[in-house]
Structure 1
Amino acid sequence: MEIFNQLESNVRGYCRSFPVVFTKAQNALLTDSDGNEYIDFLGGAGTLNYGHNNPKFKQALIDYINSDGMTHGLDMYTNAKQAFLESFQNRILAPRNMHYRMQFTGPTGTNAVEAALKLARKNTGRHTIVSFTNGFHGVTQGSVAVTANQKYKDSVGMPLPGVQFMPYDGYLGDFNTLEYFEKALQDKSSGLGHPAGVIVECIQGEGGLNVASKEWMQGLQDICRRYDMVLIVDDIQAGCGRSGTFFSFEEFGIEPDIITLSKSLGGYGLPMAVVLLKEELDSWKPGEHNGTFRGNNHAFITARQALEHYWADDSFAKDVQKKAAHLKARLKEIQAKHGGQLKHKGRGIMQGLEFKSGELAEAVTELAFKRNLVIETSGSEGQVVKVLTPLTIETEQLDRGLDILASCVADALSENVSKAS
């Protein structure tokens, strides 16, 4: 570890939880430099929906590189981009009767969020963006402003204006939080004013696997329509099949004005981010939001392969939904064994267990890594152990990982009881 400790910044995070040198990965299995194998329940924080080194994509990428295909092209036209756009239109947009322009931003999700926020403000002439409790949208200056967790904001070192936070679905128990939102919109003394737009996750991944209901999301869209606000759905972690459908909002029957996608969009773990925007919102002047790496041609190749292999029909989505139901049943079993000490959260293959403290959840993930399972926590206090495995994981391997998780939960809770007594 000497070279990493010597040269890398203190900002590094995941490596502190998983302090080995990984040398190989295949689907949901990681191998370190000593030959130890680990089941991957982290999935690149949602970047590897199709697994590590998916063989369905690998050869196409190799062939493209060997053909001297364009590696870097700014926003110029390339055959790789053309093929991706055609596939996205045919496999994703047209079958869902969705009509959007596509903007390729810098290759990370936070850049897509920055562009979405700019568009909302540019098109309305207003400044305030409404975000929600426990929301996470990135850590660049605009996106961290709409991120709720204070630990990310503290590092900016300056005020972050232009954002108002509202309570997410379920934040106040059974109370419908949209009633408060609309009351604040109507009351000229609420301090809210007239926002430009709203940014929301249908499943709050980093926020602790909080899930918005169909009724709440439909109500939010209705408010945005009636008050002329741009509705932005951040589908960066929950998209590309993670929820059981390509977009996390499909079952809600809503039509966001803007959608941000990244993480698993590139298919192979290659960086890529896009903004889907309604045509009437496409008010950009040429080059007004640019970047040197807006359009990763290698990612276009593997992203197209993902669309063609997994989204040509609904068989993959049905398989994900089947695994998600199995995952839910297994997590509910673990929950039932420990009474009121745990709470099941999430949907799709984006589920987990909430503990009474972040210390307990961390104890579980530390034990898990010692037992060759890579899994992380989320939530405001790191209190949720989150299963974010590749969607392509074999059921047998999923169950082996869940067996390890169950044993770690039991041992961590038992140890906690022993300390308390």
Structure 2
Amino acid sequence: MQEDIFERRESVVRSYCRNFDTLFVSAKGSEMTDANGKTYIDFLAGCSTLNYGHNDPDMKKALIEHIERDGIAHGLDMYTDAKAEWLKAFEDNILEPRGMGEYKIMMTGPTGTNAVEAAVKLARKVTGRSNVIAFTNGFHGMTLGALALTGNAGKRAGAGAGCNGICGTTHLPYANAFGEDVDTLDQIEMMIENSSSGVDAPAAFIFEPIQGEGGLNAASAKWMKGIAELAKKTGALLIVDDIQAGVGRSGDYFGFEIAGIKPDIITQAKSLSGMGLPFACVLLKKEHDIWKPAEHNGTFRGNNHAFVTAKVALDKFWKDDAFMKEVRKKSDILEAGLQKIADLIPGAKLKGRGMMKGVDVTSGDIASDMCSRAFEKGLIIETSGADDEVVKVLAALTISEEMLQKGLDILFEAAEETVASHKVAAE
């Protein structure tokens, strides 16, 4: 049996496959098909890496044409036609319409954690300080520097030793960490300004506009603006980790746009390539671009195949605001469907923003049961949060309204069965 090879040869560190125990062989749009011919609606989308769905036909065509003409695949950071075309498309469709002409683009290694590492290194280099302020429930990556910024105890334990060390980090309360009635901005400002708090002067503040792995906690415009002002006041740089919440997932291209702020540094990855190819970068204000040549590099910082598909994504979806209008409409459908589920479960509540929403069902056991039942019914969906208590929807932004509703109906059925099961268990 083909599946035996995974158990025999793949490390036990694997995770998603444990919840979705089948052999997938093809995918298109918002559906995945396994070796038995069963098709599943995908509400995971590569953990927000496939915002435009699986195998977009226009991106696929452009990539095939690039390969067939022997276009550059790997070019380190050399000048290539594919890179030039993507840079121009990003400038025209993203930066200029948002008045962000002051930003330069730094190519990093191909993953989000590579972008975070580069961002933090630069902030320390610019400021001459070492401490970085991160926030409760944050997730920034799995390499040691990024992991030091991450709050999750399980992820941090994977380092095999304390994460902070030379990667000096202070964790402070994220927006609404103590409930919606407590403004954590006041507490954060006190900790920073109190010379006896034990918090060193920061090189940077780093936050996610919406915490994906942390449980879909969404920062308000007021909170984001407050952190931006505090960073400026203290001489620190503001880094926004927009890796999971970006590229349209929040209802705008950038997850922080509702706050009207302009971070010093922005990290991008996941859906940047358009169709799941590894691609990450850092946007930085020109005055902070003080690197010496090759002072930060990476063998795979020039994935030209990703440049090709990313350019198509920009030209196809970001020429005007039509795509975001569709996304916001689907966001309303998503919210209505999730509210029906929340109403089934005592204490449950909606979380997130845009097409990055979910339901806190109060228990990791309940959330896990719901997702397992949903998978049996043909829906791929995962959990997040400190105790995996949030059922998280990350459907492709291009999903049809009909398929989105069908997936929500499956999730509702799974929730009904889970509630009934847990009531029986309780009795």
TM-score of the pair, normalised by structure 2:
0.97
Q: Which runs of 5+ in 1 are unaligned?
A: none
How far apart are the structure 1 equivalents of 2:40 and 2:335? 22
Count matched residues. Answer: 420
Which of 379, 384, 407 is equivalent to 1:373?
379
The offset of 1:189, in angstroms, is: 0.8
Q: Residue 87 of structure 1 aligns with which residue? A: 89
Q: Residue 40 of structure 2 aligns with which residue? A: 38
How far apart are the structure 2 equivalents of 1:4 and 1:201? 34
Tell which deviates more after alignment, 51-60 or 74-83: 51-60
Alignment of 1:235-384 (within 5 A): 235-338=242-345, 340-384=346-390
Deviations 1:307-366 (A, max 9, x none): 00000000001100110011111111222244x341111111110111121011000011
Alignment of 1:107-186 (within 5 A): 107-161=110-164, 162-173=168-179, 174-186=181-193
Tell which deviates more after alignment, 371-380 or 341-350: 341-350
Structure 2 letter corresponding to 1:222 = E
1:104 aligns with 2:107: yes
Deviations 1:130-170 (A, max 9, x none): 00000000010000000000111112122222000000000
How far apart are the structure 1 equivalents of 2:175 and 2:248? 22
Q: Residue 417 of structure 2 aligns with which residue? A: 411
Q: Residue 2 of structure 1 aligns with which residue? A: 4
Is the 2:251–2:327 contact (alpha carbons within 8 Å) kept by the matching residues of 1? yes
Is the 2:43–2:379 contact (alpha carbons within 8 Å) kept by the matching residues of 1? yes
Q: Residue 73 of structure 1 aligns with which residue? A: 75
How far apart are the structure 2 equivalents of 1:254 and 1:55? 35
- What percent of counterpart residues are identical? 52
Is the 2:344–2:419 contact (alpha carbons within 8 Å) kept by the matching residues of 1? no
Deviations 1:60-100 (A, max 9, x none): 11111111000100000000000000000000000000021
Q: Residue 199 of structure 2 aligns with which residue? A: 192
Is the 2:29–2:399 contact (alpha carbons within 8 Å) kept by the matching residues of 1? yes
How far apart are the structure 2 equivalents of 1:403 and 1:202? 29
The offset of 1:184, in angstroms, is: 1.1
1:400 aligns with 2:406: yes
The offset of 1:269, in angstroms, is: 0.6
Tell which deviates more after alignment, 74-83 or 51-60: 51-60
SS of the aligned residue for 1:94 comes to helix
Q: Residue 218 of structure 1 aligns with which residue? A: 225
Displaced runs of 4+ in structure 1, greater than 4 A? none
SS of the aligned residue for 2:33 comes to strand
Deviations 1:3-49 (A, max 9, x none): 01111001101011101110110010000001000000000000000
Structure 1 letter corresponding to 2:144 = Q
How far apart are the structure 2 equivalents of 1:163 and 1:264? 28
How far apart are the structure 2 equivalents of 1:128 and 1:89? 32
How far apart are the structure 2 equivalents of 1:51 and 1:235? 19
Q: Residue 55 of structure 1 aligns with which residue? A: 57
How far apart are the structure 1 equivalents of 2:194 and 2:176? 23
How far apart are the structure 2 equivalents of 1:157 and 1:263? 26
How far apart are the structure 2 equivalents of 1:224 and 1:164? 14
SS of the aligned residue for 1:196 comes to strand
Is the 2:340–2:412 contact (alpha carbons within 8 Å) kept by the matching residues of 1? no
The offset of 1:295, in angstroms, is: 1.6
Structure 1 letter corresponding to 2:199 = L
Structure 2 letter corresponding to 1:296 = N
How far apart are the structure 2 equivalents of 1:411 and 1:148? 33
How far apart are the structure 2 equivalents of 1:228 and 1:420? 54
1:25 aligns with 2:31: no
TM-score of the pair, normalised by structure 1:
0.99
How far apart are the structure 2 equivalents of 1:228 and 1:91? 31
Q: Which runs of 5+ in 2 are unaligned?
A: none
